[in-house]
Amino acid sequence: MGKIVITGMGAITPVGIGVDNFYNSLIEGKSGIDKIQSFDTSELAVQIAGEVKDFNPADYLPKDVVRKTDAFMQYAYIAAEEALKQSELEIEPARTGIIMGTAMSGISTIAFTQEALTGASHKKVGPRFIPKILGNIAAANIAIAHNIQGPSFTVSTACSSGGDAIYQASMLLKAGKADVMLAVGAESAHCPIFIYSLANAKALSRNNDNPQKASRPFDEARDGFVIGEGGGALVLETEEHAKARGAKILGELIACGNTSDAYHVTAPHPEGKGAIACMRQALEEGGLKPEDIGYINAHGTSTPKGDEVETHAVMEVFKDKTPLVSSTKGSTGHMMGAGGITEVISCIKAIETGILPPTINLDNPIPDCDIDFIANEARKADIKYAMSNAFGFGGQNSSVIVGKYEG
């Protein structure tokens, strides 16, 4: 099987809409985390999140699509539009497919619809409720808009959903089921029921008074993650197909890994066994040595246990030749299914620009650790390969390696 290449990218995030805005904000060390504006949080213990700013869906989407979609679907649609436009792809319907990744699907629509229904009449439940909450309808709307008739799957593997969407898309390309695959990840889970549950599990930062400093990956003062939202998309093609149509190739998808901890439904394996196996699996598939990786965009959610376990796992895999590492969740918050795509985009941009995004809010790194987490300021580095890690509830582990394209 020949190479799989990337010809289009799209992103909508708390620090910017569009890939260039997103990446420039990361490089500048901006934070997209603030007080939640989309609903009243006065009675909640956690009142902060990474929301997409200055967003009016009608500025990006047809009116009928706005009416019939949840926010996570809108983010998926907008990211896909940007990626497809950049790729300049003329879609061959039967040979083009979509893999959608989302952890929570339409949970916000479910929550707010139930709230409206409680003590009210059935008229509060609109006829579009069901298609607005189903994860696969995000892909369906994109397919309808572009007449994409090839393979279509929706992946829901918690916070590794975006990375796993890329993996499944690559497997379909390698199997000859399509020539082009659109890998999309999107999430918008900002609603009280979601926040209550995670807050009661002590998973979220409660730094309501200083939201832009709340997400602190790999810092000793970290006290939980911050919920983010957004969408990301990649156009993946076989090299043969991309070259035949004269596409501009942005990078190469080198390899992917996927493993399960088989340990606990929410906690990572204390020794990081699944994460270690996942990174090693991706390296082996790509025919790479640990020292070939120049940069890792870490899962790095800012939770006390998760960051510690990931640090141990990276040190175990890379030994004394640990690459530069950063977590962009300090800027965006934890975008869940969307993050698995946007963080791979960060890796592609890092390779392209030679500028690696920083881990913001990192003042006192985890002790007894030799990893350079690119604290607070972007770093110039000429790298050829980068890895993106995404780990989720259920012990889900995803590692994606991308590289500089050499045709």
Q: Which residues contact 211 (CB under 8 A, 6 or more apart)?
A: 31, 33, 34, 35, 48, 226
Residue 59, number of CB atoms within 10 A of its CB: 10
Q: Please give the backbone phi and psi of residue 245, each rounded to the nearest 5 degrees, phi first.
A: -100, 5
Distance, in Å, from the CA atom of 358 to the CA atom of 23, rounded to the nearest integer, reads 11
And the tokens for 237? Answer: 């093609």
pLDDT value at position 203? 97
Domains parsed from the chain with CATH numbers? 4-244 (3.40.47.10), 255-397 (3.40.47.10)
- The pLDDT tens digits of the residues spanning 129-170 come to 999 999 999 999 999 999 999 999 999 999 999 999 999 999
Check pLDDT > 90 for residue 397.
Answer: yes
Q: Are 210 and 204 in contact (CB under 8 A)?
A: no
Average pLDDT of the residues in 96-106: 98
Is pLDDT at 119 greater than 80 in this prediction?
A: no
CA angle 93, 96, 99 (to 5 degrees): 130
Residues noted as catalytic: 159, 299, 334
Whether the pLDDT of residue 120 is over 80: the answer is no
**Proportion of the chain above pLDDT 70, given as a percent:** 99
Token pair belonging to 286: 């790509």
Q: What is the pLDDT of residue 398?
A: 98
pLDDT at residue 124 is higher than 80: no
* Model confidence band, residue 351 (pLDDT cutoffs 50, 70, 90): very high
Please provide the size of the chain in residues: 407
CA-to-CA distance for 355 and 353, rounded, in angstroms?
Answer: 5
**pLDDT > 70? residue 249:** yes
As a 3-state breakdown, the chain gives helix, strand, coil percent values, each rounded to 5, of: 40, 25, 40
What pLDDT does 122 receive? 63
pLDDT at 125 over 70: yes
- Of the candidates 140, 99, 350, 135, the residue with the CA atom closest to the CA atom of residue 233: 99
15-74 pLDDT per residue, tens: 999 999 999 999 999 999 999 999 999 999 999 999 999 999 999 999 999 999 999 999
Condensed to tens digits (0 to 9), the pLDDT of residues 293-347 reads 999 999 999 999 999 999 999 999 999 889 999 999 999 999 999 999 999 999 9
Reduced to 3 states (helix: H, G, I; strand: E, B; else coil), residue 362 is coil
* pLDDT tens, position by position, 179-237: 999 999 999 999 999 999 999 999 999 999 999 999 999 999 999 999 999 999 999 99
The pLDDT of residue 407? 83
Angle at 194 between CA 387 and CA 359, to 5 degrees: 30
Let me know the angle formed at the C-alpha of 298 by 295 and 303, rounded to the nearest 5 degrees: 155
In terms of Cβ atoms closer than 10 Å to its own Cβ (0-12, 13-18, 19+), residue 210 is exposed
Collapsing DSSP to helix, strand or coil, 155 comes out as strand
Quote the pLDDT of residue 320: 81
What is residue 212's DSSP assignment? G
Task: Provide the pLDDT for residue 310.
Answer: 97
| Average pLDDT of every residue of the chain | 96
Q: How many CB atoms lie within 10 A of CB 196?
A: 14
